[in-house]
């Protein structure tokens, strides 16, 4: 059963040069107790689709149309006042850079205790005890001392653990993790991912995991949604996306897969990169948005926009030539 369901979501931003359609008809689901990985390059609409769920958008951003069904309720129609009761309580967020997300002038105790005081009406003394418990739960050594420290006194990995403790304070039903390991080295990244998986199993929390790293998605996600230019171009269970016997994929997903470093890559062989860059949202190409960068593109791709079509059960792809063998042989 889906805890969260985005239905044809359109989130736009008003600018002096025109309306930017950052999220343009996105639909995906997060199953209860599972992790959905949303992957794509910067500018693909990953974070905006996630921030639309809790209406944490810039002042010029707004949901133009679509539904955000969370636990049976459409959050697109919820007022900002009511949304503040949901944020941090039913839905929590771990942001990309913990140093800018944590307030430098408040102690760890002060910041982590806020969800307990605001949502659970705890006293400051009771909240302080819960803070120590949460810091211990996320494997921070000597939590009593860390609680009294300021963010600048902690390492990047420690700060991210504090962010996780804060996000999980009220045991939310949904955790939005917006590239939570990007600023960390690989050793700390592995520890954070292991911790998040353990806490997910312990608390039964669903996770919407946003990243550009398919390697992280392979480790974390049960299902995968690949986004490009504000649209979902492919969705499938992770075992299908990463399966060697998978006969279907979007060329963009294929390009992301080929750009991952592998242990069996021969010495001296360069990784295959996707040419070009994500187009500007005010200057999108006609037809398939990925066509200018796609090595398989035809005139049909450049002139007609493909629909998101299910090629197998539970595996929709937005491409005219989703079958790998067919397009590799010149269609």
Q: In the chain, which ranges are E strands?
A: 2-15, 18-31, 35-39, 61-70, 73-74, 91-94, 174-178, 206-211, 223-228, 231-237, 309-312, 315-317
- Three-state secondary structure call for residue 234: strand
Task: Identify the pLDDT of residue 28.
Answer: 95
Please state the pTM of the whole predicted model. Answer: 0.89
Residue among 190, 206, 197 nearest 28 (CA): 206
Q: What is the pLDDT along the chain (331 residues), one digit of tens a residue?
A: 789 999 999 999 999 999 999 999 999 999 999 999 999 998 899 999 999 999 999 889 999 999 999 999 999 999 888 898 899 889 999 887 777 788 999 999 999 999 999 888 899 999 999 999 989 988 889 999 999 999 999 988 888 889 888 888 888 999 999 988 776 777 878 888 888 888 888 888 999 999 888 888 888 899 999 999 999 999 999 999 988 778 899 999 998 888 777 777 777 777 778 888 899 999 999 999 999 999 899 999 999 999 999 999 999 999 999 998 777 665 5
Burial of 226 (0-12, 13-18, 19+ CB in 10 A): buried
Is the four-CA dihedral 194, 196, 200, 206 of positive or negative sign? Answer: negative
CATH of the domain at 237: 3.40.50.300
Starting at the edge strand found earlier in the chain, the sheet holding 231-237 runs: 91-94, 174-178, 206-211, 35-39, 223-228, 231-237, 315-317, 309-312
**C-alpha–C-alpha distance, residues 232 and 290, integer Å:** 12
Task: Identify the pLDDT of residue 210.
Answer: 94
Residue 86 lies in a domain: no
Residue 176 lies in a domain: no
Query: Long-range contacts: 300-306, Cβ < 8 Å, 24+?
Result: none
**C-alpha–C-alpha distance, residues 119 and 115, integer Å:** 6
Q: Give 266's DSSP letter.
A: P
Residue 120 lies in a domain: no
- The residues facing 19 across adjacent strands are 14
Domain that holds residue 14: 1-81+211-330
Helix pair angle (186-203, 156-167), 10° resolution? 20
Whether residue 207 contacts residue 36, with contact meaning beta carbons closer than 8 Å, is answered with yes
Structural domain total, the chain: 1
Strand-pair category, 223-228 with 315-317: unpaired
Residue 172 lies in a domain: no
Residue 246 lies in a domain: yes
Whether residue 227 contacts residue 26, with contact meaning beta carbons closer than 8 Å, is answered with yes
Helix pair angle (124-137, 108-119), 10° resolution? 110
Residue 126 lies in a domain: no
Q: What's the angle, vertex CA 324, arms to CA 323 and CA 330, rounded to 5?
A: 95
Classify the phi-psi angles of 123: left when phi > 0, otherwise alpha if psi is within -120 to 50, otherwise beta: beta
The radius of gyration of the chain's CA atoms, rounded to the nearest angstrom, is: 21
Residue 144 lies in a domain: no
Task: Identify the pLDDT of residue 243.
Answer: 83
Please state the φ and ψ torsions of residue 312, each to the nearest 5 degrees: -140, 165
Whether residue 278 contacts residue 42, with contact meaning beta carbons closer than 8 Å, is answered with yes
Task: Identify the pLDDT of residue 329.
Answer: 67
- The residues facing 45 across adjacent strands are none
Task: Identify the pLDDT of residue 328.
Answer: 64
- The residues facing 92 across adjacent strands are 175
**C-alpha–C-alpha distance, residues 135 and 146, integer Å:** 8
Residue 300 lies in a domain: yes
């Amino acid at each position: 059963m889906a805890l969260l369901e985005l239905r044809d979501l359109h989130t736009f931003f008003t600018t002096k040069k025109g309306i930017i359609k950052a999220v343009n008809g996105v639909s995906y689901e997060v199953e209860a107790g599972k992790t959905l990985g949303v992957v794509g390059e910067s500018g693909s609409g990953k974070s905006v689709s996630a921030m639309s769920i809790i209406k944490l958008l810039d002042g010029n951003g707004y949901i133009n149309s679509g539904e955000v069904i969370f636990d049976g309720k459409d959050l697109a129609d919820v007022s900002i006042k009511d949304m503040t009761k949901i944020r941090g309580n039913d839905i929590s967020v771990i942001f990309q850079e913990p140093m800018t997300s944590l307030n430098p002038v408040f102690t760890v105790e002060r910041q982590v205790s806020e969800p307990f005081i605001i949502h659970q009406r705890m006293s400051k003394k009771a909240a302080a005890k819960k803070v120590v418990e949460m810091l211990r739960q996320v494997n921070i050594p000597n939590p009593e001392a860390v609680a009294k420290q300021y963010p600048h006194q902690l390492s990047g990995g420690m700060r991210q653990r504090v962010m996780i403790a804060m996000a999980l304070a009220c045991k939310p039903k949904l955790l939005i993790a917006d590239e939570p390991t990007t600023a960390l080295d690989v050793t700390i990244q592995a520890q954070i991912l292991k911790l998040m998986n353990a806490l997910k199993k312990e608390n039964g929390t669903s996770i919407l995991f946003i990243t550009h790293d398919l390697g992280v998605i392979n480790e974390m996600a049960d299902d995968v949604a690949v986004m490009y230019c504000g649209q979902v171009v492919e969705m499938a269970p992770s075992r299908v996306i990463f399966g060697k016997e998978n006969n279907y994929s979007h060329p963009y997903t294929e390009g992301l897969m080929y750009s991952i470093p592998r242990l069996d890559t021969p010495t001296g062989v360069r990784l295959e990169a996707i040419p070009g860059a994500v187009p500007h949202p005010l200057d999108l190409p006609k037809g398939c948005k990925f066509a200018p960068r796609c090595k398989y593109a035809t005139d049909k791709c450049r002139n007609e926009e493909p629909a998101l079509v299910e090629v197998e059960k539970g595996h929709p792809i937005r491409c005219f030539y989703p079958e790998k063998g067919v397009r590799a042989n010149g269609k």
